[in-house]
Amino acid sequence: MWNLTKNIFKVGIQTKNILQQTENVEVVGKQLAISINRHLGRALNIRMIDAGSCNGCELEINNINNPYYNIERFSVNFVASPRHADMLLITGPVTKNMREALLRAYEATPDPKLVVAIGDCAHCGGVFNSSDAVIGAVDKVVPVNVIVKGCPPTPMDIIQGILSALS
Amino acid sequence: MHIEIKHIETEVERQFELAQIYHDENAVLLTEWVAEEGWYTLYLSTKKELYCVRSQLKNENPYIVDLTAVFPVCARLQRAIFDLNKVPTQNTVDTRPWLIHDEQSYNFVKVGGEGVHEIPVGPIHAGIIEPGHFRFSVVGERVLKLEQRLGYTHKGIHQLLKNKSLEEGSKIIGRVSGDNTVAYAYAFAMACEQAVNAKIPFQISLLRGILLERERIVNHISDIGAIANDAGLPTLQASFNILKENFLQKNKIYANHRYLMDCILPFKNNIELSKLQLEEIRTELVQLSQRLKELECICQTHIGLQDRLQNTGIVTTALAMRLQALGIVAKASGFCFDVRKLLSIYPYSHFPVTNAETTTGDVAARVSVRFKESFESIELIRQFSRQLLSYSEVTRRSAVIPRSAGFGIGCVEGWRGPITVIVAIENNNLQWCHFHDPSWQNWPTLEYAVLNNIVADFPLINKSLNLSYSGHDS
């Protein structure tokens, strides 16, 4: 426990370094926080749904919670149930096997719901588009507000996508 | 430099007998599949050989035989074969669909008795992870049975790969399981190169080795952090995530991709590292290694953490051997089976790896194997880059391609375990391609690892195996 406490003090707050390290997370993040506050007056709750991805997009969505991006400080919260969500982040070419689960999660999300499709596969089916086992783009199954392209998109792209869905 | 393969032709009925013989020789069944030419099974023996057994199927009413009694992984593989190729297995008990979910209902095994209740979980899980369904049968807090239903991310990739060019194929196969993209692209390239008998310059192999070990390091670091988080220490996970993000940003600089996708292609690499960058990697790794040692010390001395990790989700050596677990799961249970050692392909033939083995088989053991392997990967990259620096020219040189058709096997020790890719090439196109993720072997291991543990420990145990849904469902 003592070692861990020492480590916490030694490492310090890493988000300070971001301005030098990556493109303007601070700037986009502050806009995001303002936008969330204006529209919701509380935290933005996101439910992430993998509708058939290769797990590459999940890696980057996980990374927006790491100490460099730390999206939680801009009032963004990942929740476990679609019933608690304001926004769905959906990845993957939608597979035939995930279609029903995706539809049910979408229906369980209270209105007005925002949908952000993450990644090239969610955008257009990506390299899997011509396969018989996939339906393809997310908007073939549920309405989509914003598309974030990339294979996988970077954490910055994803944060930007969440912001543009709110504006 | 190619893998030694023994090709064996036999009748369908004799395959069971052969499977028993190979099992007695301590060989493992890497994968089985059905293609136009028949039914194939592929074994890796401890004698450093691959046995590729092929049986022609009957034209009318073709069938394969059940090898589950010898190699348990076949239970699911043969269900998948029926779904994808419509070839049934003779006298098999379980004929439920596996990868194709056309039917609405699926018969889970019911556990009876007083006080038994079911907890269905998924397919959409409560976190940022892939989809799959888990059905727990529980008494009080304890898990009596876990049954998995997978296939939700099935993308029909085997079918999709048919008649694709090698470049297209490489792009698709690099997206079978995103966190394992290097190993898949590497194994695919290896298979293609063997099929057309192309000789690969040492520089290309060394760079591939560097990429493969970098993928291992980043996934191991990330997993250890996630395990700490599931044990209630998000601050400790944050420290691991800082190392991970630093590492990914370096990947972006070196290879223009944070997860190293599309860096390896058949006959060549898509990136090159300058001498300056190789030196930079060596400095980067010194810092990483130092920091990782500090974090290892924290993990080992944190009593609260160790209390959660030790004796949780035990996979005994006997169980690992019976289920033929692969990769880190097997290594943590004292069943060490590392393709880098067994197949001795350059550069691993010249820079041998040691056994990152432990025997306790609990979550703590799987953490310990990840630490050991990370340190070893750091050392390997340093050796590979030193070797690369000794060449006057470190840049890309493509291999010569002597012929346009053939059959080849590629097998690479990815961070999860061996990734196997088999290709049949005709006119420089893929006639067909079969690939196999070690998660096939390890998913059933998870069903056993949770038995008699409490439900609340399931996320921790699951995370310590961290299996691929997409690699399995494909």
Chain A residue numbers touching B124 (CB-CB < 8 A): 49-50, 101, 105
- Strands B38-45 and B28-35, sheet pairing: antiparallel
Please compute the mean of the pLDDT values over residues B98-112 and round it to a whole number.
88
Contact B470 A54 (CB under 8 A): yes
Is the pLDDT confidence value at B278 over 50? yes
Nearest Cα residue to B407 out of B388, B387, B389, B430: B430
**Beta-carbon contacts of residue A20 (< 8 Å; ≥ 6 apart):** none
Count of residues for chain A? 167
Chain A residue numbers touching B164 (CB-CB < 8 A): none
Residue B123 has its nearest CB partner, among A11, A101, A151, at A101
Chain A residue numbers touching B303 (CB-CB < 8 A): 1
**Beta-carbon contacts of residue A17 (< 8 Å; ≥ 6 apart):** A68
> What's the whole-model pTM score?
0.95
Q: Which residues of B, range 110-129, sit inside 8 Å of A by Cβ?
A: 123-124, 126-129
Name which of A89-103, B101-115, B378-392, B435-449 the model is least confident about: B101-115
B459 lies within 8 A of chain A by CB: no
Residue B96 CA neighbour count, 13 Å, CB half:
15
Model confidence at A18, in pLDDT bands (50, 70, 90)?
A: low
B342 lies within 8 A of chain A by CB: no
Percent of chain B beyond pLDDT 70? 99
Q: How far apart are CA A57 and CA A150, in angstroms?
A: 9
Is the pLDDT confidence value at A73 over 80? yes
Please compute the mean of the pLDDT values over residues B290-300 and round it to a whole number.
96
Please compute the mean of the pLDDT values over residues B362-371 and round it to a whole number.
97
Q: How far apart are CA A18 and CA A67, in angstroms?
A: 10
Task: Check: CB of residue B340 under 8 Å from CB of residue B353.
Answer: yes
Q: What is the pLDDT of residue A120?
A: 97
- Show the DSSP H helices in B200-342 as ranges: 202-230, 234-255, 275-301, 303-309, 317-323, 327-332, 339-342
Q: What is the pLDDT of residue B401?
A: 82
Q: What is the pLDDT of residue B347?
A: 92
Contact B154 A97 (CB under 8 A): yes
Q: What is the pLDDT of residue A23?
A: 62
Distance, in angstroms, between B124 CA and closest chain A CA? Answer: 7
Strands of B5-9's sheet, edge to edge? B5-9, B49-55, B38-45, B28-35
Q: Provide DSSP, B54-72.
A: EEPPPSSS--EE--TTT-T
- The answer to ipTM > 0.85 is yes
Contact A11 B302 (CB under 8 A): no
B131 lies within 8 A of chain A by CB: yes
B219: nearest CA in chain A? Answer: A59
B105 lies within 8 A of chain A by CB: no
Residue pLDDT, tens place only, B375-418? 999 999 999 999 999 987 756 667 788 888 999 999 999 999 99
Model confidence at A20, in pLDDT bands (50, 70, 90)?
A: very low
Model confidence at B103, in pLDDT bands (50, 70, 90)?
A: confident
Chain B residue numbers touching A11 (CB-CB < 8 A): 238-239, 242
Q: What is the pLDDT of residue B362?
A: 96
Is the pLDDT confidence value at A1 over 80? no
Task: Check: CB of residue B471 under 8 Å from CB of residue B176.
Answer: yes
- Strands A87-91 and A114-118, sheet pairing: parallel
- Strands A44-50 and A94-95, sheet pairing: unpaired
Contact A97 B151 (CB under 8 A): yes
Please compute the mean of the pLDDT values over residues B313-324 and round it to a whole number.
95
Residue pLDDT, tens place only, B187-246? 999 999 999 999 899 999 999 999 999 999 999 999 999 999 999 999 999 999 999 999
**CA separation (Å) from B119 to A98, B111, B144?**
20, 12, 11
Chain B residue numbers touching A126 (CB-CB < 8 A): 175
Percent of chain A beyond pLDDT 70? 95
Task: Check: CB of residue B242 under 8 Å from CB of residue B472.
Answer: no
Chain A residue numbers touching B126 (CB-CB < 8 A): 80-81
Q: What is the pLDDT of residue B47?
A: 82
Encoded tokens for A155: 């954490």
Contact A66 B244 (CB under 8 A): yes
Nearest Cα residue to B282 out of B355, B204, B383, B179: B383
Task: Check: CB of residue B244 under 8 Å from CB of residue A66.
Answer: yes
Name which of A4-13, A105-114, B191-200, B441-450 the model is least confident about: A4-13
Q: Report cis status (omega within 30 of 0) of the bond before B347.
A: yes
Which amino acid, B354? T
Q: How far apart are CA A127 and CA A133, in angstroms?
A: 13
Distance, in angstroms, between B350 CA and closest chain A CA? Answer: 32
Q: What is the pLDDT of residue B88?
A: 96
Encoded tokens for B381: 């990259």
Q: How far apart are CA B221 and CA B214, in angstroms?
A: 11
Contact B155 A133 (CB under 8 A): yes
Task: Check: CB of residue B373 under 8 Å from CB of residue B357.
Answer: no
Is the pLDDT confidence value at B256 over 60? yes
Please compute the mean of the pLDDT values over residues B116-132 and round it to a whole number.
93
Task: Check: CB of residue A55 under 8 Å from CB of residue B177.
Answer: yes
> What does the mean pLDDT of chain A come to?
91
Distance, in angstroms, between B25 CA and closest chain A CA? Answer: 36
Chain A residue numbers touching B294 (CB-CB < 8 A): 7
Residue pLDDT, tens place only, A85-140? 999 999 999 999 999 999 999 999 999 999 999 999 999 999 999 999 999 999 99
B232 lies within 8 A of chain A by CB: no
Q: How far apart are CA B151 and CA B97, in angstroms?
A: 10
Task: Check: CB of residue B425 under 8 Å from CB of residue B196.
Answer: yes
B50 sits in the region (left: phi over 0; alpha: psi -120 to 50; else beta) called: beta
Q: What is the pLDDT of residue B327?
A: 94
Nearest Cα residue to A60 out of B459, B211, B128, B253: B128
Q: What is the pLDDT of residue A19?
A: 44
Chain B residue numbers touching A21 (CB-CB < 8 A): 249
Is the pLDDT confidence value at A67 over 80? yes
Contact A66 B151 (CB under 8 A): no
DSSP 8-class letter at B108: P
Residue B177 has its nearest CB partner, among A49, A54, A132, at A54
Q: What is the pLDDT of residue B403?
A: 83
Encoded tokens for B270: 């898509």
